[in-house]
Homo-oligomer: A and B are copies of this chain.
Amino acid sequence: MFEDFREYSVAEFFKKNRHMLGFSGKIKSMTTIIHELVTNALDACEEAQILPDIRVEISQVDVDKYKVVVSDNGPGIPKELLGKVFGQLLAGTKFHKYKQQRGQQGIGAAGVAMYAKLTTGLPLHIISAHEGKLVSADITVDIQKNQPLITNLIEDEADFHGTIVEGVFGDVKVDKSEYSVLEYIKRTAIANPHASFELVINGEQYSFPRTSDKVPPPPKEVKPHPLGVLTYELIELAKRSTSKTLKRFFVETFERFSTAKVQELEKLVNVDLNKSPKELTWQEAEDLVKAIRSMQWMAPRKDVVYPIGEDQIKGSLEAILKPEIVITRTRDPKIYRGGIPYVVEVGIAYGGNFKGSIMRFANRVPLLFDSSACAITKAVKSIDWKRYGIKDFDNEPVLALVSLNSVFVPYVSAGKTAISQEEEIVQEIKNALMEAARKIKIHINKKIRSRELEKKKSALMRYVNYLSHDISYLSGYPPEPLKENLERIIKEKYSL
């Protein structure tokens, strides 16, 4: 019974459970490939403060088999890291940092390489031009060991910078549906107006020029917030710290931990805060965490979370839907799980040639799949839209766009396709939507009132002729001026 006990690599785990990475179904798998490569390109360009020019080329080579080339003008990837980026799952820089990025765990690109290997046996072909040096190589994942396999390495000089990723994939498909690559790029363009996209699918070209020349600021790394730290994490941070005393450790390691706060903490616990962090015991850490949670703390910094922006959301929805009205709302940044900063922004479009739908974004990346699992969907569906004048969300002309931005987005699975339905987050999204919905309600009521007034006005206007003649007969006054006056009075009274 216990004979075949052995350890498995994380690559083997995700090979068997590749649906958790988004590789489930042909359309979804193709969109997942594009998503992983495009988000890496956007993150890299933003770090290097480059306006991204991204090109995606997809061409069918056989039944359900496509060649994909994604190129960008980013900083490129250093030679020594190519293997880890494309050939190893869970290797990256993004893991321990609290910084708003699209990728957050070092799985994406290696997952793409693995999918190519599983479906065609072929490695990815990478060209990277970084700081004047060009490297070209074939890279794939040794799945059993979760290690990179690199072949055909060529080095040269480069007078440009950027990355080109080329692969051949099976069990994939591209079409023009709402789940496919064209829709994905369209929505990515909405959330990233500073980026330009060229998309070529089997020769058909789609251009999305940039509509802003402003590179978003490079995301700031944020230190952990005191309220969010678990006892175990406090000990780990203390062990790794180079601070001389616990007092210095707190100030240097955490956000909002001033020396005044240290003094306040000192009074609440029976721990010598002058000793080295490395001497911290579990019990002491537990007491410190308890004390920290009983203290008042400043709200998180506003400048570590980066929303799309209300103007951009409004402009995009107006351009796409041509609605009667768009209401946007950005909430103040909040924290969840005690200390992780995030910010929610929403846009509700109403009135026009579209029906009830939800558009989801996380860290300025569109979420197209697994909608039923998503915190955003749960929030939208849990609102009593009748109270805002919308009796039947699904069948009325309303679109709710929700964008969540955080230094760490809690996704449902490693494929980052849906946001985990954490209560605090669902509630915050609801609040944002309800605030916007109140203004939609005012608009709808105005519309209804305006329509009712119009009806009354029309009804009355039908009788103006008769009325003016009758009054004229009774009074002796001429009918025409009477009629004009009556019409004027009616119009005045029955308008908004």
Contact = CB atoms under 8 A, between A and B. Distances in A.
Copies in the complex: 2
A48 interface: yes
Given A97-B4, A118-B230, A230-B118, A422 B92 contact: no
A47 interface: yes
Contacts of A373: 370, 372-373, 412, 418
Interface stretch (A15-23, A256-264, A466-474): A15-23
A48 B93 CA distance: 46
B106 A8 contact: yes
A81 B2 contact: yes
Nearest to A107: B13
A96 interface: yes
A25 to B, nearest CB: 7
Give the contact-size bracket for chain A. Answer: 35 or more
Contacts of A119: 230-232
A270 to B, nearest CB: 17
B231 A120 contact: yes
Nearest to A147: B7
Contact of A414 (B20, B97, B410): B20
A241 interface: no
A368 B48 CA distance: 45
A47 B377 CA distance: 42
A12 interface: yes
A328 interface: no
A213 interface: no
Main secondary structure of the interface of A (DSSP, over half): loop
Interface in A214-233: 230-233
Nearest to A285: B121
Given A24-B420, A121-B282, A230-B118, A7 B91 contact: yes
A384 B95 CA distance: 45
A173 interface: no
A413 B235 contact: no
A184 B206 CA distance: 52
Contact of A422 (B3, B24, B282): B24
A6 interface: yes
A10 interface: yes
Nearest to A1: B47
Contacts of A48: 1
Contact of A20 (B3, B88, B412): B412
Contacts of A316: none
A346 interface: no
Nearest to A377: B372
A421 interface: yes
Given A25-B423, A232-B121, A17 B81 contact: no
A327 B78 CA distance: 63
B19 A93 contact: no
Among A3, A235, A286, find the residue whose CB has the most chain B CB atoms closer than 10 A. Answer: A286
Contacts of A12: 90, 95
Contacts of A17: 105, 410-411, 414
A207 interface: no
7 contacts: A5-B92, A6-B93, A9-B90, A119-B232, A121-B231, A412-B412, A413-B414
Given A20-B412, A373-B412, 11 more contacts: A1-B93, A2-B77, A5-B92, A5-B93, A8-B91, A9-B90, A10-B90, A16-B105, A19-B410, A118-B230, A373-B373
